[in-house]
Amino acid sequence: MKQNNIETVYSGIGGYEKIEGIVETFYGYVKENPILIPLFPDDLTETMHKQTLFLTQFFGGPRLYEAERGHPMLRRRHLPFPITPSARDEWLACMKLALIENQVEEPYYTEMIERMTLTANHMMNTPES
Ligand code: HEM
């Protein structure tokens, strides 16, 4: 998909199926992560669905998240969960592995990690205990 004639990250990496693959691999790592997993519900089905919609929209694809869940307000939606600097680091580490495992190549890898790092920094709401 092109917007304003500029290729989006979403289309560049391979669209919806690629996002689905990344999300599946990512939550596989989250499940194994002792810092992250206590924050998440036992059943990750809905979480994975929401994240697939969000990342599609975030990287320039159709605005699926907004259509289903309204304005993202991500910081507000994360406030119920204590997100420490180490939770931020672990989240990003899982995402890096997921991108690599799904063969996301440059320049998309760097672009995606940079944008998600900014968002992850914004999600921190609790000092390290
Ligand atoms: C910094 C570390 C982060 C932690 C520990 C974290 C943790 C969580 C948790 C526990 C939930 C609730 C799960 C659920 O409602 O099913 C959640 C939801 C969500 N997270 Fe994160 N998150 C982090 C960063 C991010 C980042 C960087 C993004 C986007 C790039 C993101 C996007 C989302 C989305 C879209 C939802 C679903 C919101 C909703 O519609 O309810 N998160 N996250």
- Asked whether the beta carbons of 88 and 120 are under 8 A apart, the reply is yes
Is residue 6 scored above 90 in pLDDT? no
- Asked whether the beta carbons of 56 and 5 are under 8 A apart, the reply is no
Strand (E) or helix (H) holding 80: none
Mean pLDDT of 68-86: 98
Is residue 77 scored above 80 in pLDDT? yes
Is residue 4 scored above 60 in pLDDT? no
Which residues, judged by CB distance below 6 Å to any ligand atom, belong to the binding site of ligand 1? 36, 39-41, 46-47, 50-51, 54, 69, 74, 77-78, 81, 83, 87-88, 91, 116, 119-120, 123
Which of 1-10, 26-35, 72-81 has the least mean pLDDT?
A: 1-10
Mean pLDDT of 72-95: 98
Alpha helices in the chain (DSSP H): 9-13, 15-31, 45-58, 64-69, 74-78, 85-101, 108-123
Is residue 2 scored above 90 in pLDDT? no
DSSP code at position 43? -
- Asked whether the beta carbons of 11 and 56 are under 8 A apart, the reply is no
Q: Can you name the CATH fold of 2-123?
A: Globin-like (1.10.490)
Instruction: For the chain, give every domain's residue range.
Output: 2-123
The pLDDT score that the predictor gives to residue 129 is: 80
Mutation test residue for ligand 1: of 26, 50, 84, 113, the one with most atoms within 8 Å of CB: 50
The pLDDT score that the predictor gives to residue 26 is: 99
